[in-house]
Amino acid sequence: MGDKKKILIVEDHPIFRLGLSELINQEEDMVVCAGAEDVVGTWRAMEQFEPDLVVADITLADGDGIDLVKEISRHRKGLPVLILSMHDEFLYAERALHAGARGYIMKQDAMESVVTAIRHVLDGRVYLNERVKEHILNHLADRTLAGERSPMDRLTDRELEVFRFIGEGFSSREIADRLHLSIKTIGTYRERIKEKLNIKHANELVRHAVHWEKTGHLEPPADDR
């Protein structure tokens, strides 16, 4: 690979991973050293290839990209991570940065922006598009002025992850298996989510989660609809 910067792609859709690899490999100064579809494969690839940068999706075959960023930040200090995802950038970008990511890019923007984003991160800078930068600054200003957070902001990263899986149609057992947790623990997360979002019943929780997964917004209260 010579002096080229080595990029590890963590993405559970092989066709998208292949397309991204071909795009990056066209650059003279960078090369995709490996691809992985899950957390286990990611750590194996990092040990074998010692990448200069990791491009990771949020949704992985056996876990969550935000958790992966936290683990990389903890155990591989100095290894930058660029999050590439289909999930709402306004909700996840700030969380990804707090976890230790150095950038966030939407999948629909990937083919035209990923190389630029990689170069930013490799240069030691943070990459966000202008609309996300403005959103984060406005969000920070609104929270400072109002002194309070929106209902979704009250969810921890893990609670948000469980909420997302509920919206995608996974059962508590399936969520527990994906996150390597007990059903009892998932049940606890569900109760915390209901409390924070002021949701009373399990069916209502599922409805809200599905609506949020489709639209990126919570359903308005019944009186406002």
Asked if 167 and 209 count as a contact pair (C-beta separation under 8 A), the reply is: yes
pLDDT of residue 140: 65
pLDDT of residue 139: 62
Answer yes or no: pTM beyond 0.85: no
In 77-173, where do the E strands start and end? 81-85, 103-106
In the chain, how many domains are there?
A: 2
Q: Are 131 and 20 members of one domain?
A: yes
Q: What does the DSSP 8-state code read for residue 34?
A: E
pLDDT of residue 106: 86
The answer to whether residue 114 is domain-embedded is yes
The per-residue DSSP string of 148-179 comes to ---TGGGS-HHHHHHHHHHHTT--HHHHHHHH
Closest listed residue to residue 37, CA positions, set 57, 56, 16, 11: 11
Q: State the Cα angle at 85 between 80 and 91, rounded to 5°.
A: 95
The answer to whether residue 217 is domain-embedded is yes
Helix (H, G, I), strand (E, B) or coil at 61: coil
The full length of the chain comes to 225
CA 223 to CA 225: how far, in whole Å? Answer: 6
pLDDT of residue 19: 93
Helix (H, G, I), strand (E, B) or coil at 85: strand
Domain hosting residue 13, numbered range: 5-135
pLDDT of residue 70: 92
Q: Are 174 and 108 members of one domain?
A: no
Give the torsion through C-alpha atoms of 12, 13, 14, 16, to 10 deg. Answer: -130
pLDDT of residue 94: 82
pLDDT of residue 1: 63
pLDDT of residue 149: 59
User: Which amino acid would we find at residue 20?
Assistant: L
> Could you list the pLDDT tens digit for every one of the 225 residues in the chain?
668 999 999 998 899 999 999 999 999 999 999 999 999 999 999 999 999 999 999 888 777 888 999 999 999 989 999 998 887 677 788 888 889 999 999 888 878 889 999 999 999 999 988 887 887 777 666 554 444 556 787 888 889 889 989 998 999 999 999 888 899 999 999 999 999 999 999 999 999 999 888 776 777 655 444
Q: Are 41 and 126 members of one domain?
A: yes
Q: Are 15 and 116 members of one domain?
A: yes
The answer to whether residue 146 is domain-embedded is no
